[in-house]
A = this chain, B = another copy of it.
Amino acid sequence: MPRRTAGGAPPDTPPARLSLISRHLAPDYPINTPYTVERLPSTIDTSLLPKTQTRKMSSQPPHPTLLIPGPIEFDDAVLQSMSHYSESHVGPAFVATFGETLSMLRKLFQTSDPASQPFILSGSGTLGWDLVASNLVEAGEDVLVLGSGYFSDGFADCLRVYGANVTELKAAPGQKPQLPEIEKALSEKRYKAITVTHVDTSTGVLSELKNLSALVHKVSPDTLILVDGVCSVACEEIDFDGWKLDGVVTASQKAIGCPAGLSISMFSGRAMQAFQNRKTPPASYFASMKNWTHIMQNYEAKKPSYFATPSPQLIHALHTALTQILASPLSERFALHRAASDRIKQAVADLGLKQVAGNPDEQAHGMTAIYLPESVKQADILPSLAKKNVVFAGGIHKEIATKYIRFGHMGVSVLDPRRGDIDRAVKALQDGLAECGYQKA
């Protein structure tokens, strides 16, 4: 509905009041559907609005709540940043936005070492594996891959494509390799790098980075410690400097809360030096640190620079998401994710169900992988949840794929209690299982 008010108009101009009045003449249509597409500007005195409208404050049309382990539900402001008008990728406004975004990543990863190097590339999270495999490892070099599920397997596959000699320490589904066997493996061969999947999205198994890194630094100090943080960055503690990590790769669409399409990573000065010391050229072109490092450094120094065209809209959305994240202490964010996770895991236990990640110390805080009762099929419970407007994911670990479901609890669904997403999802799970005939034994 076209109106032309509020640009810089004080909120008490006649048209602003007319609009507030007109709300009460109209039926209760959700705002900002494809038909109305209206949003709440922050300059308006919303105290005049009915107090029960909190769920209607969203600029998003009604839709099922997405509670898979990524993509997650997005904040309105982040989604609105996706519609930013077109800008030159080398113009001063966008260069400043990109530069600030890179600088904010340093804070998210808790690194103040100026030698640390952030990268933001257009691509899926998977591209982070190529970045590691084609730049930090050379063909024929040995890499130890800690296998905790589907995504560790993928990281190993990617490393092999670029010629790494991969040794996999694989754990059973729902488990992870333990420190003693890792120490044994590290003492048997000199590995260029060790990779660990912080949270394996296929199982919800959480790896412990701090003790792992301490072990590697003790037993094999030249080995680079490279972390797949796709399902952990921004919901699990990562102290990049303090824990002496060498690389963390992640994606935009999980706990960071920005739509998919960006590969996001941080590398230590030691990792960048290992790249500089390569004897062979990088094994990729689009994911080459040779092509991107100076571009990232220029952007962060607010200097225009070009290798390939970034996505200004996605970078704006990431800028908004990181600004929101850094507005509160990270410790608070992690604690809120832990608290929601504890609540969900208690509810799962109360239902008499088991998690795929069996050990409480090895359970992720941004997702829960739940074994179904023997009597309930994935093909029944997922549609039942969908009818209740809650979207969970199926299993993906090849050995147990049909036996479990995955509940993602990251970002606004956890942090914005007004949404009520977690409670509704737990209730839907309880009701859905009952409708599928399940009763706790």
* Cβ-defined contact, B312 with A260, below 8 A: yes
CA gap between A285 and B34 in the complex, in Å? 38
List the B side residues contacting A63 at CB < 8 Å: 85-87
* Cβ-defined contact, A29 with B9, below 8 A: yes
Residues 36-77 of A, flagged 1 when their CB comes within 8 A of B and 0 if not, give: 111111011010010000001001110100101011111000
List the B side residues contacting A71 at CB < 8 Å: 86-89, 309, 312
List the B side residues contacting A96 at CB < 8 Å: none
CA gap between A79 and B28 in the complex, in Å? 27
Determine the residue in chain B with the shortest Cβ distance to A412: B86
* Cβ-defined contact, A5 with B29, below 8 A: yes
* Cβ-defined contact, A285 with B23, below 8 A: no
Q: Which of B6, B121, B158, B311 contacts A259 (CB 8 A)?
A: B311
Residues 8-27 of A, flagged 1 when their CB comes within 8 A of B and 0 if not, give: 11000111101111110111
List the B side residues contacting A161 at CB < 8 Å: 281-285, 288
Does A430 sit at the interface, judged by CB under 8 A? no
List the B side residues contacting A287 at CB < 8 Å: 130, 286
Q: Which of B22, B70, B86, B260 contacts A3 (CB 8 A)?
A: B22
* Cβ-defined contact, A310 with B124, below 8 A: yes
CA gap between A308 and B154 in the complex, in Å? 10
Does A313 sit at the interface, judged by CB under 8 A? yes
* Cβ-defined contact, B391 with A91, below 8 A: yes
List the B side residues contacting A73 at CB < 8 Å: 86
CA gap between A15 and B26 in the complex, in Å? 6
* Cβ-defined contact, A311 with B260, below 8 A: yes
List the B side residues contacting A251 at CB < 8 Å: 309
* Cβ-defined contact, B2 with A19, below 8 A: yes
CA gap between A22 and B18 in the complex, in Å? 7
Does A193 sit at the interface, judged by CB under 8 A? no
Q: Which of B3, B36, B84, B286 contacts A127 (CB 8 A)?
A: B286
List the B side residues contacting A34 at CB < 8 Å: 41
* Cβ-defined contact, A16 with B1, below 8 A: yes
User: What is the CB-to-nearest-CB distance from A81 to chain B, in angstroms, rounded to a whole number?
Assistant: 8
Tally of A interface residues using CB under 8 Å = 102
Determine the residue in chain B with the shortest Cβ distance to A72: B86
Determine the residue in chain B with the shortest Cβ distance to A254: B309
Given that A3-B19, A308-B125 are known contacts, is A82 also in contact with B85, CB under 8 Å in the complex? no
User: What is the CB-to-nearest-CB distance from A6 to chain B, in angstroms, rounded to a whole number?
Assistant: 4
Does A348 sit at the interface, judged by CB under 8 A? no
User: What is the CB-to-nearest-CB distance from A263 to chain B, in angstroms, rounded to a whole number?
Assistant: 8
Residues 232-253 of A, flagged 1 when their CB comes within 8 A of B and 0 if not, give: 0000000000000000000101
* Cβ-defined contact, A61 with B88, below 8 A: no
User: What is the CB-to-nearest-CB distance from A140 to chain B, in angstroms, rounded to a whole number?
Assistant: 15
Does A133 sit at the interface, judged by CB under 8 A? yes
* Cβ-defined contact, B22 with A15, below 8 A: yes
Q: Which of B28, B74, B85, B311 contacts A85 (CB 8 A)?
A: B74
Q: Which 9 pairs between the two chains have the least Cβ-Cβ distance?
A: A7-B29, A261-B311, A124-B308, A126-B308, A82-B82, A15-B22, A158-B285, A37-B39, A260-B311
* A-B contacts, 27 listed (Cβ < 8 Å): A1-B5, A2-B19, A2-B23, A3-B36, A4-B22, A6-B36, A7-B33, A7-B35, A8-B29, A8-B35, A14-B22, A15-B22, A63-B85, A66-B86, A68-B88, A82-B83, A91-B391, A122-B123, A124-B310, A126-B286, A126-B308, A126-B309, A129-B285, A130-B284, A161-B288, A260-B309, A286-B287
